[in-house]
Structure 1
């Protein structure tokens, strides 16, 4: 006799609601829900931070309210030419969130959606001609710049594709709206050569202001690895293998709406999860740091002065305050990433090695298919040691 298994939900019915405490007074409620198209999906909502909400009732109330309003994008008859485009934008955002888009990406898209709504709130699907949509994008660009306009175009395209899939529109009108190009070429962060990097690290160690702000060690680690700043500030002592002289990059720091600063156990891309070999000067720095009071006693390598996760923006502000005195007024945290990439290239190492070191998703289709990925490249550590020691 076979087991009966879980009984199927009826359309419009939800399963058992579970509540999970996320910390800082925030709960999450989630359940299975069978949409009008017959597909059962996981739906979740978070409650507002409230120290008096001991059991997650606010999160469950928010979830029940969302289920009462829920409509499945693409379900026959639910979308018409009179449907507001802003409704489809919200539906598209929900689909992106359920598909697992990162919280930081969703924060960016939701910010763009709020700005887009100012120019498209009255627009309905039947009004969404290429000319009208182009006017919306032009207005958004004039008010918020080319980058935000690009996000707006992406959201409109995804939203109106829902109407296409529901057979309300025969084609996606956004496809005929030209792509947005920036008026000026981005300058980007400058890269440092080996001599400049040596001089900067020497000046860093001589700066009392840098020691006071705990910038010496994290900047040294950036120069030694080329990590993204969000990856750098997510490093924990448990990620460091002293014997192997490696550090595991296994997460990132992000500020999430309603939750504050969090460590996410996922990187920018799948390739962000990697193990990086450390040059000798980084190993020496970590050995010295581990023996220091407070800094070597925390869970994370580079905590805030209060012992929690370090804020990305605060870290950048602290760096901007000292870089003029260090003689590098244009150097940003991203400059160290570009510097490591430049040193790898100058040493004649392959682009695949560079991509593995920096956690890039692709070098080219050929390399992705035919070259092994995810290796620990000790030769990169050797290159950085030679660059810094000037041997």
Structure 2
């Protein structure tokens, strides 16, 4: 006879073990819908992980009923996070977003509101929390906190505990610091970087020359390039298909997700020089593996033992290369993405660059990724027509800039 199911609102045995440098505690919990789900917590010690898990279980047990005006904010937040976890499991939300929200809630937001009921969480109270976080930490941190508070207040509105979401009436989070311009490379600067990385023995051992060229030739995100497989490259059509993005979350570890946006899955046309580089790389790897190049499968840019490369390790190697060659900390893998956006939009309609980069909006490409600050002669050429108008200065020489 099978083991009887857990009663609704109860949990099973708590288990704890090391997870890297931290401890993870977890157990099975049967929710009000009858489904049994894992509840997990991480901490620096076994005892802290188990204690944190028990606190979460108490909060979870208290969220089973209807949210009312006197329900504690911490209870509503745990229920909202539980719903967010369900959406992550369904693939509708990002696991990295869940990690960020849980951490910010636990360390920054919860201590500032844990004595309040949801009915006491007024626009003024929320405003004080957000402006305080902005002043003490950053606008980015305050905006994340705003998203958390807005989410749990929205849940309270759906339950009838609040009539409107008070976050709407709190002041916007303003960034007091001047936003740093996007830094893109010129074509000559890119070629200079390639010369430096080719001549760096450590960088060659870490596979940075080919990786940098792939970033420079495709503009792919860091995780997208790490996730590319030989099966994703159509050498006849000269296209690399972006099928996923490498991410790491506490719940699932390293995995390939479906991409950051609905347009993330796409084909990226490859320049001839990049096709040649990839063909040479495939031939070399195939010879080392003892297979025909056409039969080669697996990661194009694996780690040292052939597995999935970690983005954190790539960024570590990148920082070390940057320091060895005296390049500023602005130079990251994303710099090539900005460079591609800038070079393409200088020559083609912005929609071409947006499609190439997998952005859902053209404005994201032009506002965030296109490098600024370079002086273009093209506007002056266009405005040259004003010097040939009837109202122009008599005898003024005709502009020789007749093409754009």
2:60 & 2:334 partners in 1: Cα distance? 45
Alignment of 1:92 onto 2:80: yes
Deviations 1:71-109, CA, capped at 9 Å, x for gaps:
46xx7xx22222111221222223233332111121222
TM-score using structure 1 length: 0.73
Alignment of 1:45 onto 2:44: no
1:236 & 1:66 partners in 2: Cα distance? 45
1:138 & 1:67 partners in 2: Cα distance? 27
1:344 & 1:156 partners in 2: Cα distance? 39
Please state how far the C-alpha of 1:44 moved relative to its aligned partner: 4.1
2:283 & 2:151 partners in 1: Cα distance? 52
How many residues of Structure 1 are paired with residues of Structure 2 in the alignment?
320
Please state how far the C-alpha of 1:197 moved relative to its aligned partner: 1.4
1:274 maps to which residue? 266
Alignment of 1:363 onto 2:351: no
Alignment of 1:342 onto 2:323: no
2:170 maps to which residue? 177
Q: 2:59·2:78 contact (CA, 8 Å) conserved in 1?
A: no
Alignment of 1:242 onto 2:241: no
Alignment of 1:82 onto 2:65: no
> For 1:247, what is the secondary structure of its paired residue?
strand
Q: 1:204·1:326 contact (CA, 8 Å) conserved in 2?
A: no
Deviates more, 1:142-151 or 1:279-288: 142-151
Deviates more, 1:287-296 or 1:136-145: 287-296
- Equivalent residue runs for 1:282-293 within 5 Å: 282-293=274-285
Which residue, out of 125, 130, 145, partners 1:132? Answer: 125
Give the unaligned 5+ runs of structure 2. 1-7, 10-19, 43-53, 290-296, 365-404
Deviations 1:46-76, CA, capped at 9 Å, x for gaps:
7799xxxxxxxxxxxx9xx89983846xx7x
1:113 & 1:294 partners in 2: Cα distance? 48
Q: Give the 3 Å change call, closer, same or farther, for CA 105–89 of structure 1 in structure 2.
A: same
How large is the RMSD of aligned CA atoms in angstroms?
3.4
Deviations 1:175-225, CA, capped at 9 Å, x for gaps:
111111112123255101111112222222222221011111111100000
Q: Give the 3 Å change call, closer, same or farther, for CA 295–137 of structure 1 in structure 2.
A: farther
1:282 & 1:95 partners in 2: Cα distance? 44
- Equivalent residue runs for 1:304-315 within 5 Å: 304-315=303-314
2:225 & 2:142 partners in 1: Cα distance? 30
Deviates more, 1:214-223 or 1:114-123: 114-123
> For 2:71, what is the secondary structure of its paired residue?
coil
Deviations 1:215-241, CA, capped at 9 Å, x for gaps:
111111000000010111111111111
TM-score using structure 2 length: 0.70
2:218 maps to which residue? 225
> For 1:90, what is the secondary structure of its paired residue?
helix
Q: 2:68·2:160 contact (CA, 8 Å) conserved in 1?
A: no
Alignment of 1:112 onto 2:100: no
Give the unaligned 5+ runs of structure 1. 1-11, 14-23, 50-61, 366-391
